[in-house]
Amino acid sequence: MRCPNGFLTACSDNVEVMFAHRTGGLRALLLAVVSVCVAAVVGSGPVAAVPSNVAETTHLGTVGNANWYGAYIPVAGGVKLYADVLVPRNRAGRVPTVLAIGPYFQHLRPQPGGIGVQEPPKRYDDLLRGARLLERGYAVVFADLRGYGASGGCPDNSGELDRSDLRAAVRWTATQRWSSGKVGMYGKSYDGITGLMAAGERIPGLAAVVAQEPVYDWYRYLYGNGVPRTTRIGTPLSLVYTSVNPPSYVNPRQFQDYATRSAANLINPACVPATLTAQQSPLPNDPYWRGRGIMEPLKRSRVPIFLTQGFIDQNTAADGLTELLRATKGPVTGWLGMWDHVRGNDTDRTALMGGLTDRPSTGRGDYLEQVGRFYDHYLKGKGTAPSGFLVQDNTGSWRAQSTWPDQASIRTVPLRPGTYRYTGLEVATKVKAKGKWLATQIDGVAAAANVVQRTADSRANGVWTVLPPEPSPIRISGTPRITVTARAHHTDPNPLVQNTPIAVDLYDVAPSGRATLITQNVSMLERGETRIRLYATDWLVRAGHRLVVRLTDTNRGRWDYPSPTSNAVVNVLSGEAQIPLAPVNAGTPTNGMSNTSLEGYLARYVYPVPLG
């Protein structure tokens, strides 16, 4: 997807341009952004009245073999959600519906030098073509979240209003005259979150959810246990931009509709200003974050879910994968493997990756065929649904297994005591080129993109636990957990700078000394014990390789750190790593191959681990 031009540049799915990494100028930055937006929309001339809170559906024409409608769905607070609806023209009776709800749908096609032509969103054309939904007798609905696209209201960022809207949208879809009453949801990234949220709401008619590379917890998307990700400013502002910035080719009425909503949302202190302020809280128990949890509602869900998750996704990490699998009561199937933030059916050409070839970006090419089977079973009662999981590990090999993770044991590893200093300079991965060390992990950027930056990392600034070589292969499968007891000593009396971070990196070290990052996470040190869940993975450690755990201050590149002024020294007193192990021969080998994401990761996500 081409990124729009403006004061902030962002892409809807993949790479965001991150900026403003220092908290000191944050208040001024946000004020400036809001001021610019208000000036842009308020100064645009008279605005039109919003539609009244009455359901509206208008026939807009035909698209292929579908009748195309524009609908306004009434929801809470007098707001309407806009939706494009495609209903098969040759339907025989009522049909099931696939519904996608998100902030990224575009309803206009630009014309050279003129006003855009309205059309259904193209975001999931690959689903319509690849799964042949319309031809197979499905209606399709693309709806804008409140505050985005042609919908009214203030963006709620997965809060209670969004939950209420999801309930209303699913009920509306299930009760239309062309609907069989069965609704399946579909989406990736943000659109994947809405599907998981809906699954936790027990909505009549919701019968299946497909979620690709979702966010499992909005707090964890912006913070790692109190440590801010570099996305904590870029992502909220990119969503504001998406909400308030109309395409340049809208007609005057459409622009006025954008202006009406956008001006109100930017000026209203309870809308955009309050949201941007609340999202800067690093406290996981802040009421703003507690009101946007996804996992707790899923504990009461029995909705079937088809999930895809890349273990090496640098955008939406596998930080809640095992938690979700434990939480939901309904059947969960899916693809889990070594890829970045891609769709299950992406190729390197559609994902703008590698050599832009038609190589599958996951390593398999039958994703949409399986999605079609999933919907056929749960929405039509036809055929057999995919079951269990297809899993790709770091060797590029695929296997099928009925459950994941298939844990056989937990290996408990005592961690060495030692000392590190809070410098704010350390990174998890780096390579040497022309005599200079270059960090290779950049937040939100796939390893295959080969983006690097200079680093002053020192491998001496860390506490290393080096295990003996493995006498036989082992398979790490699930979520490793770390417990550390440490004490930080400061020379700065200012309590505001005395929060001290810890970063944990788990490496696979070959006999040659080449070390590859398996998984990681960070936290602010707690009083007493600090407990950290690393990202979920499925990693085969070959015989003769070693596991190595590094405790240090930072993983700069993926997380953002203010320049430390406290000169803190951290004494690691004790700790342990709990590493989940599965049978090496777990599952049954099945078709599939490596992919560009994995090959870039193995080449660049390395570190010169000290073994002496």
**For the chain, domain boundaries:** 56-224+286-303, 409-607
Distance from C-alpha of 163 to C-alpha of 156, rounded to nearest angstrom: 9
Provide the pLDDT confidence category of residue 531 given band limits of 50, 70 and 90: very high
| Helix 231-244 vs helix 252-267: crossing angle, to nearest 10 | 140
Whether residue 471 contacts residue 546, with contact meaning beta carbons closer than 8 Å, is answered with no
CATH number for the segment(s) 56-224+286-303: 3.40.50.1820
Q: Any idea which residue has 């790479």 for tokens?
A: 15
Q: Looking at residue 494, what is its pLDDT? A: 63
Structure token digits, residue 212 = 């690709």
Residue 39 or 280, more confident: 280
Q: Looking at residue 259, what is its pLDDT? A: 80
The maximal CA–CA distance of the chain, rounded, in angstroms, is: 76
Whether residue 410 contacts residue 581, with contact meaning beta carbons closer than 8 Å, is answered with yes
Q: Where does 479-542 show beta strands of DSSP type E?
A: 481-489, 501-509, 515-524, 529-533, 537-541
Q: Looking at residue 118, what is its pLDDT? A: 86
Provide the pLDDT confidence category of residue 437 given band limits of 50, 70 and 90: very high
Q: Any idea which residue has 């879809």 for tokens?
A: 173
3-state secondary structure of 95: strand
Average pLDDT of the segment spanning 546-553: 97
What percentage of residues in the chain have a pLDDT greater than 90? 75
Whether pLDDT at 21 is above 60? no
Q: Any idea which residue has 């770091």 for tokens?
A: 394
Whether residue 584 contacts residue 470, with contact meaning beta carbons closer than 8 Å, is answered with no
Query: Which is nearest to 557 in space by CA: 450, 462, 439?
Result: 439
Residue 267 or 396, more confident: 396
Whether residue 259 contacts residue 50, with contact meaning beta carbons closer than 8 Å, is answered with no
Length of the chain: 612
Q: DSSP character for 302? A: -
Provide the pLDDT confidence category of residue 28 given band limits of 50, 70 and 90: very low
Amino acid at 413: V
* Strands lying side by side in the sheet with 515-524: 463-466, 546-552, 501-509, 515-524, 606-607
Average pLDDT of the segment spanning 289-314: 95
Q: For residue 468, give every residue at least 6 positions away whose Cβ sits within 8 Å of its Cβ, in sequence order, or none.
A: 546
Distance from C-alpha of 446 to C-alpha of 316, rounded to nearest angstrom: 11
Q: Looking at residue 55, what is its pLDDT? A: 67
Is-cis flag, bond preceding 405, omega within 30? yes
Average pLDDT of the segment spanning 478-490: 94
Provide the pLDDT confidence category of residue 110 given band limits of 50, 70 and 90: confident
Question: Using one digit for the tens of pLDDT, what is the confidence trace for 444-469?
Answer: 899 888 899 999 999 999 999 999 99
Q: Beta-carbon neighbour count of residue 510 at 10 Å? A: 15
Sign of CA dihedral 211, 216, 218, 220: negative
pLDDT-wise least confident of 27-31, 55-59, 171-175, 587-591: 27-31
Distance from C-alpha of 42 to C-alpha of 260, rounded to nearest angstrom: 8
3-state secondary structure of 193: helix
Query: For residue 550, how many C-alpha atoms fall within 13 Å in the half-sphere facing its CB?
Result: 31
Q: Looking at residue 244, what is its pLDDT? A: 86
Whether residue 318 contacts residue 215, with contact meaning beta carbons closer than 8 Å, is answered with no
Query: Which is nearest to 219 in space by CA: 159, 274, 304?
Result: 159
Average pLDDT of the segment spanning 2-31: 35
What percentage of residues in the chain have a pLDDT greater than 70? 88
Distance from C-alpha of 236 to C-alpha of 280, rounded to nearest angstrom: 9
The CA angle 320-322-326, to the nearest 5 degrees, is 115
Provide the pLDDT confidence category of residue 398 given band limits of 50, 70 and 90: very high
Provide the pLDDT confidence category of residue 308 given band limits of 50, 70 and 90: very high
Q: Any idea which residue has 């005259």 for tokens?
A: 177
Tell me the average pLDDT of the chain: 88
Provide the pLDDT confidence category of residue 260 given band limits of 50, 70 and 90: confident
Provide the pLDDT confidence category of residue 157 given band limits of 50, 70 and 90: very high
Q: Looking at residue 246, what is its pLDDT? A: 73
- CA–CA distance from 530 to each of 108, 317, 374, 483, 573 (Å)? 50, 21, 41, 6, 12
Residue 467's Cβ-count burial label (10 Å; 0-12, 13-18, 19+) is middle
Whether residue 306 contacts residue 333, with contact meaning beta carbons closer than 8 Å, is answered with yes
Provide the pLDDT confidence category of residue 561 given band limits of 50, 70 and 90: confident
Average pLDDT of the segment spanning 232-253: 82
Whether residue 348 contacts residue 357, with contact meaning beta carbons closer than 8 Å, is answered with yes
Structure token digits, residue 224 = 């790692």
Q: Looking at residue 109, what is its pLDDT? A: 78
3-state secondary structure of 227: strand
Q: Looking at residue 473, what is its pLDDT? A: 98
In this structure, CATH architecture of domain 409-607: Sandwich (2.60)
Q: Any idea which residue has 């246990």 for tokens?
A: 225
Q: Any idea which residue has 């993983």 for tokens?
A: 555
Average pLDDT of the segment spanning 538-565: 92
Q: Beta-carbon neighbour count of residue 229 at 10 Å? A: 21
Q: Where does 213-286 show beta strands of DSSP type E?
A: 223-224, 227-228
Whether pLDDT at 83 is above 70? yes
The distance of Cα 588 from the centroid of its chain, to the nearest Å, equals 29
Provide the pLDDT confidence category of residue 493 given band limits of 50, 70 and 90: low
Q: Looking at residue 12, what is its pLDDT? A: 42
Structure token digits, residue 264 = 């109100």
Whether residue 303 contacts residue 314, with contact meaning beta carbons closer than 8 Å, is answered with no
H or E element that contains 602? helix 596-604
H or E element that contains 167? helix 160-174
Query: Which is nearest to 447 in space by CA: 591, 309, 310?
Result: 310
Question: Using one digit for the tens of pLDDT, what is the confidence trace for 269-293?
Answer: 999 999 999 999 999 999 999 999 9
Q: Any idea which residue has 């001496």 for tokens?
A: 460
Q: Looking at residue 35, what is its pLDDT? A: 46
Q: Looking at residue 115, what is its pLDDT? A: 73
| Helix 26-42 vs helix 231-244: crossing angle, to nearest 10 | 10
Average pLDDT of the segment spanning 537-549: 98
Distance from C-alpha of 3 to C-alpha of 11, rounded to nearest angstrom: 5
Whether pLDDT at 515 is above 90? yes
Whether pLDDT at 509 is above 80? yes
Distance from C-alpha of 554 to C-alpha of 525, rounded to nearest angstrom: 12
